[in-house]
C-alpha cells in the first residue's frame, strides 16, 4: 500500500490510552514499513498533560515504545518517526486556543486529518472550534466510539458535526472492520465461486458472532456503568460484523457500494417486539470468580461502579434478517466481560446432509462449519468430515486452515494501521456512514428501553465462565450451541 499523499495528522487526546496503545503504534508501523506514509507527512499531538515537545517526546518514549512491536524496535526508524511529531498544549474547551493550533499547522503540508481520541462530550466543541479558525475546509475528521448514548444523542452529535463537515469528510471508525480476517471474509465470499452459492438460507443453519473478553471494566468503571455492553459492543462492533457477513455482493468495492449493502442488512433486521425481548435477549452481570488461576472481583465492587448497578456486562441476542437470502436463519450475537477466554470470531454453521448414506457416525460427527477468528490469532478454518483410519466407515471432524503466514511473506497489517492509512488516502469503505449508525441505534433502542424500565436485575454469572446459562438455553431451543474451543 504505497502512497504519495502528504498529510498533517492532528491527534487530539495525544496522551490518552487509545493514542498510547493503538494510534501512535499504528502510525509507527506504517512509517517503519516504508512508502506507506509520505516522507513529508507530520503528526501534531494535542494534549494538556505535557508542557512542550521535549516533554511529550519523553512521554512517547516511555509509554508508546513498548506497544509498537513484539519483535523489538529499530532505533533508526524510531528516531525518524519521532522527527515527524510536533506538539501543542491547548485547552480543548477554549475555542480561542485553536488559533495556536492553526498557526502550528498552517505551514504543514497535505491533507489535514483531525483524529478525536477524546471523550464524546468534546466532539462537538472541538469541531466548532476548528471551524471558528477555518480549519474545517479540505480536512477529514475521525470520530471514535461511542458516538452518543442512544439514537437521539447520536443524531444530535451527527447533526452538529454535519453542520461543520460534509459526510464525505467524516470517518466514524470501527476497528473491527479493519481486521485482516474481516477483509478476507469479503475476499472469501466475493472472490471465489465455491462459497457464495452456499451463503444463503438453503445451506446455512445458523451463524454465531462472539466478542468475548477476559478483562473486566478495569479503570473504566465510571464510563462503563453508564454505558453497558449493549451500547459499548453490540450497537457498533457486533452489528457491523453482522452486516459484513450477511450483505449482498456489492457491484464494486468503492465506499458507497459496500456501505449501501451493509445498510440494507441493518434495515432488514427484524424489529424486536418489547414483549419478546425476554425470549431473544439475555443480559448478564459478572460476579466474582477465577480467571487463569487468579481471583477477580464482582462487577458491583469495581471502582466507579454503583453497588446496586443493573448495568449489563454480558449480552446474547437472537437476530433475524427479513430478506430473501436469510429468512429463517437465526444469527446469534454474544459479547461479555470476564468470560472464560478472550476471543472474537464468526461461526457459520452449515446444514447437515439431507440423508446420511454413511451411517450414524456422520450425524454424531456434526455438520460443516466455517470459523473466522478475529482474535487473538487471526485465522479462517473450514471444518469438514473425513473417515477415521481403520476398519469401518467412522467419520470425524477435521479442518482446513487458511494460514496467512505460509502464503504471504509480509506480516499482517493491524486494524488501526489499515484504517489510519485509509483516512490519509481518503478511502471511506471501512468506515461507518451516518445512516448505518442510525439504523443500528434504531434497532437496539427497544432493548435499551425495556432493560432500562425493567425491575429484573441482569442474570448473574461467575467470572471465568461463558456467561449466564440462559444464553446457552436460548441456542438450545434452536438445536444448537455456542462454539467454545481452546485457542
Question: Where is the binding site for substrate, in residues?
Answer: 175, 179, 213, 232, 337
Separation between Cα atoms, residue 14 and residue 303, nearest integer Å: 25
Separation between Cα atoms, residue 463 and residue 43, nearest integer Å: 41
Write phi, then psi, for 347 (nearest 5 degrees). -120, 120
- Residues in the chain, how many? 487
Cα 380 off chain centre by: 18
Answer yes or no: are the C-beta atoms of 238 and 209 closer than 8 Å: yes
The catalytic residue among 49, 63, 67, 237 is 237
Answer yes or no: are the C-beta atoms of 378 and 404 closer than 8 Å: yes
Separation between Cα atoms, residue 42 and residue 487, nearest integer Å: 40
Q: Which helix (H) or strand (E) element contains residue 25? A: helix 24-33
Helix (H, G, I), strand (E, B), or coil: what is residue 4? coil
In order, the DSSP letters of 314-339 are EEEEEE-B-STTTTT--EEEEEESSB
Separation between Cα atoms, residue 422 and residue 172, nearest integer Å: 12
Angle between helix axes 123-132 and 151-162 (nearest 10 degrees) is 10
Angle between helix axes 415-424 and 24-33 (nearest 10 degrees) is 80
Query: How would you label 278-288 residue by residue, b for 16+ Cβ within 10 Å and e otherwise?
Result: eebbbbbbbbe
Cell numbers linked to 69: 512491536
User: What would you report as the CA-atom Rg of the chain, rounded to the nearest whole angstrom?
Assistant: 24
Binding residues, by number, are 48, 91-92, 145, 175, 179, 213, 232, 337
Cell numbers linked to 332: 446469534
Write phi, then psi, for 356 (nearest 5 degrees). -95, 105
Binding residues for NADP(+), by number, are 48, 91-92, 145
Place of cell 471558528: 132
- Asked about 237 being catalytic, the answer comes back as yes
State the DSSP code for 412.
Answer: P
Residues catalogued as catalytic: 237
Amino acid at each position: 500500500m504505497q502512497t504519495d499523499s502528504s498529510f498533517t495528522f492532528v491527534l487530539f487526546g495525544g496522551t490518552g490510552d487509545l493514542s498510547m496503545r493503538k494510534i501512535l503504534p499504528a502510525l509507527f508501523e506504517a512509517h517503519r514499513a516504508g512508502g506507506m506514509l509520505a516522507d513529508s507527512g507530520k503528526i501534531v499531538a494535542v494534549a494538556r498533560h505535557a508542557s512542550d515537545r521535549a516533554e511529550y517526546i519523553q512521554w512517547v518514549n516511555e509509554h508508546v515504545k513498548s506497544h509498537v512491536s513484539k519483535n523489538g524496535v529499530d532505533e533508526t526508524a524510531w528516531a525518524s518517526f519521532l522527527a515527524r511529531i510536533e506538539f501543542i498544549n491547548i485547552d480543548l474547551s477554549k475555542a480561542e486556543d485553536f488559533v495556536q493550533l492553526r498557526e502550528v499547522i498552517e505551514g504543514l503540508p497535505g491533507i489535514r486529518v483531525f483524529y478525536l481520541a477524546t471523550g464524546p462530550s468534546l466532539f462537538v466543541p472541538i469541531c466548532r472550534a476548528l471551524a471558528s479558525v477555518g480549519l474545517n475546509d479540505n480536512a477529514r475528521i475521525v470520530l471514535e466510539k461511542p458516538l452518543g448514548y442512544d439514537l437521539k444523542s447520536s443524531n444530535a452529535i451527527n447533526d452538529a458535526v454535519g453542520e461543520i463537515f460534509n459526510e464525505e469528510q467524516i470517518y466514524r471508525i470501527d476497528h473491527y472492520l479493519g481486521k485482516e480476517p474481516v477483509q478476507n471474509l469479503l475476499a472469501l465470499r466475493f472472490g471465489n465461486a465455491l462459497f457464495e452459492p452456499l451463503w444463503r438460507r438453503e445451506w446455512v443453519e445458523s451463524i454465531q458472532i462472539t466478542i468475548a473478553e477476559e478483562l473486566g471494566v478495569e479503570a473504566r468503571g465510571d464510563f462503563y456503568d453508564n454505558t453497558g455492553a449493549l451500547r459499548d459492543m453490540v450497537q457498533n462492533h457486533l452489528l457491523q460484523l453482522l452486516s459484513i457477513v450477511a450483505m449482498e455482493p456489492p457491484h464494486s468495492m468503492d465506499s458507497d457500494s459496500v456501505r449501501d449493502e451493509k445498510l440494507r442488512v441493518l434495515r432488514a433486521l427484524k424489529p424486536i417486539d418489547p414483549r419478546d425481548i425476554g425470549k431473544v435477549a439475555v443480559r448478564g452481570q459478572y460476579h466474582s470468580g477465577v480467571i487463569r488461576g487468579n481471583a477477580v472481583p464482582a462487577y458491583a465492587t469495581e471502582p466507579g461502579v454503583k453497588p446496586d448497578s443493573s448495568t449489563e456486562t454480558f449480552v446474547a441476542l437472537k437476530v433475524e434478517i427479513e430478506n430473501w437470502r436469510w429468512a429463517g436463519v437465526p444469527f446469534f450475537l454474544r459479547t461479555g466481560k470476564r468470560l472464560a477466554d478472550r476471543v472474537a470470531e464468526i461461526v457459520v454453521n452449515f446444514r447437515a446432509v439431507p440423508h446420511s448414506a454413511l451411517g450414524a457416525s456422520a450425524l454424531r460427527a456434526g455438520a460443516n462449519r466455517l470459523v473466522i477468528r478475529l482474535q487473538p490469532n487471526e485465522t479462517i478454518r473450514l471444518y469438514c468430515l473425513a473417515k477415521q483410519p481403520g476398519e469401518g466407515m467412522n467419520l470425524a471432524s477435521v479442518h482446513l486452515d487458511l494460514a496467512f503466514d505460509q502464503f504471504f511473506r509480509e506480516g499482517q497489517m493491524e486494524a488501526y494501521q489499515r484504517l489510519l492509512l485509509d483516512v490519509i488516502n481518503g478511502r471511506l469503505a471501512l468506515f461507518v456512514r451516518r445512516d448505518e449508525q442510525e439504523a443500528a441505534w434504531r434497532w437496539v433502542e427497544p432493548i435499551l428501553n425495556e432493560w432500562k424500565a425493567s425491575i429484573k436485575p441482569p442474570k448473574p454469572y461467575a467470572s471465568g465462565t461463558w456467561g449466564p446459562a440462559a444464553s446457552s438455553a436460548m441456542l438450545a431451543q434452536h438445536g444448537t450451541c455456542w462454539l467454545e474451543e481452546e485457542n
